[in-house]
């Protein structure tokens, strides 16, 4: 989407255009580690997470990396990570700070909120922090919603560059190359704006041990979702969660003739 910011606060536009500072907010979600094969709960109400290794959502690592690279290039001055969830999400924020984020905000909720609630909470954080750019992951790998960035852009009335494979900032605008079917689309959007990170945007760095130690001393502010005056009541109901049907075993055929016969008479595809 291309467009002008509809932010009514003119002082914000002045700050962005005559910019001395350029703050990037990066929302990071704590999810089951991508190497782990999850299993549905016995009652089918969700997936089993107890005792599983949790990590930062991989697309959010890419979002953090991009924000850090923009800061290292001098295009940004501060990178703030924010996570919404249970107390343990602070580990995810420490990881973001070990990668290089300057500080972090944890918004505590009792359970993992759905995208609309996350977007509303992020809107409240954006209003407090007034970032020039928010870089989210394109989707969280736990529930594959691919919705939060778009909802946040809608709630704020900000332009968005989703599925980004390249981001450049200049003259109060972001040029975003977007991964679309069969190619790339380049959009130019006015800041402040929303970007969501796709897989090919970059390869995130690993946090070094000294940086992990340093991250323990970086500021982490904790807020309650209720303090932000946001209604996080769930509107989505999960009806059921089930494993995909098991694949049938394959068969080996002895000849091309047999293969053709099976394709014609059993599979009925030719
Ligand atoms: P989703 O719309 O749930 O697929 O998530 C898209 C992106 O929104 C993620 O990659 C994160 O950047 C952000 N996000 C979603 N949920 C949270 C959360 N609970 N805390 C922080 N960021 C989140």
Q: How confident is the model at residue 19 (pLDDT cuts 50, 70, 90)?
A: low
- Could you report the per-residue pLDDT of 123-146, keeping only the tens digit for each? 999 999 999 999 999 999 999 999
Q: What is the pLDDT of residue 20?
A: 79
Contact (CB, 8 A) for 124 and 235 = no
Three-state DSSP class for residue 7: coil
Q: Which helix (H) or strand (E) holds 118?
A: helix 115-129
Q: How confident is the model at residue 5 (pLDDT cuts 50, 70, 90)?
A: very low
Measured between alpha carbons, how far is residue 242 from residues 31, 42, 93, 153, 194 in Å? 19, 9, 31, 32, 34
Is 156's C-beta closer than 6 angstroms to any atom of ligand 1? no
Choice between 120 and 8, residue whose per-residue pLDDT is larger: 120
Q: What is the pLDDT of residue 244?
A: 85
Q: Mean pLDDT in the chain? A: 92
Q: What is the pLDDT of residue 110?
A: 84
| CA proximity to 57, closest of 95, 104, 25 | 95
- Asked if omega into 22 is within 30° of 0 (cis), the reply is no
Core vs surface per residue 176-215: b (16+ CB within 10 A) or e: bbbbeeeeeeebebbbbbbbbbbeebbebeebeeeeeeeb
Domains in the chain, ordered, with CATH?
A: 9-265 (3.40.50.620)
Q: What is the pLDDT of residue 231?
A: 87
Is residue 269 pLDDT above 70, yes or no? yes
Q: What's the rounded mean pLDDT across residues 146-152?
A: 98
Is 27's C-beta closer than 6 angstroms to any atom of ligand 1? yes
Going along 131-192, which residue ranges are E strands? 133-137, 160-170, 173-180, 183-190
As a whole number of angstroms, the distance between CA 68 and CA 186 comes to 22
Is residue 17 pLDDT above 80, yes or no? no
Q: Which helix (H) or strand (E) holds 67?
A: helix 58-72
Q: What is the pTM of this model?
A: 0.88
Is 54's C-beta closer than 6 angstroms to any atom of ligand 1? no
Ligand 1: residue of 148, 201, 223, 234 to mutate (most ligand atoms within 8 A of CB) is 148
Q: What's the rounded mean pLDDT across residues 201-215?
A: 97
Q: What is the pLDDT of residue 2?
A: 43
Is residue 163 pLDDT above 70, yes or no? yes
Contact (CB, 8 A) for 138 and 167 = no
Please spell the DSSP secondary structure of 178-209, one letter per residue. Answer: EEETTEEEEEEEESSEEEEE-GGG--PPPPPH
Contact (CB, 8 A) for 49 and 112 = no
CA 255 to chain centre: 50
Is residue 229 pLDDT above 80, yes or no? yes
Contact (CB, 8 A) for 104 and 218 = yes
Q: What is the pLDDT of residue 45?
A: 85
- Could you report the per-residue pLDDT of 30-78, keeping only the tens digit for each? 999 999 999 999 888 889 998 999 999 999 999 999 999 999 999 999 9
CA of 119 to the centre of ligand 1 (A): 8
CA of 213 to the centre of ligand 1 (A): 26
């Amino acid at each position: 989407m291309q467009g002008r910011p509809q932010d009514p606060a003119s002082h914000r536009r002045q700050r962005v255009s005559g910019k001395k500072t350029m703050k990037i907010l990066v929302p990071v979600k704590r999810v089951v580690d991508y190497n782990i094969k999850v299993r549905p709960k016995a009652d089918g109400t969700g997936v089993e997470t107890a005792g599983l290794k949790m990590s930062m959502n991989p697309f959010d690592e890419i979002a953090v990396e991009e924000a850090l690279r923009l800061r290292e290039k001098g295009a940004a001055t501060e990178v703030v990570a924010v996570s919404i969830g249970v107390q343990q999400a602070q580990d995810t924020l420490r990881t973001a700070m070990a990668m290089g984020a300057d500080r972090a905000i944890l918004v505590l909720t009792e359970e993992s909120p759905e995208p609309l609630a996350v977007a509303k909470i992020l809107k409240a954080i954006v209003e407090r922090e007034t970032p020039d750019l928010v870089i989210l992951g394109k989707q969280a790998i736990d529930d594959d919603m691919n919705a939060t960035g778009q909802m946040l852009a809608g709630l704020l009335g900000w332009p968005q560059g989703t599925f980004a494979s390249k981001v450049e900032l200049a003259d109060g605008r972001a040029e975003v190359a977007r991964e679309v079917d069969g190619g790339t689309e380049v959009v130019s959007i006015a800041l402040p704006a929303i970007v969501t990170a796709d897989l090919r945007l970059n390869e995130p760095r690993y946090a070094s041990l000294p940086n992990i130690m340093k991250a323990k001393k970086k500021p982490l502010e904790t807020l309650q979702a209720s303090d932000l005056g946001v209604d996080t009541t769930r509107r989505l109901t999960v009806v059921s969660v089930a494993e995909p049907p098991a694949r049938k075993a394959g068969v080996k055929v002895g000849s091309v003739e047999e293969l053709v016969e099976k394709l014609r008479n059993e599979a009925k595809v030719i």
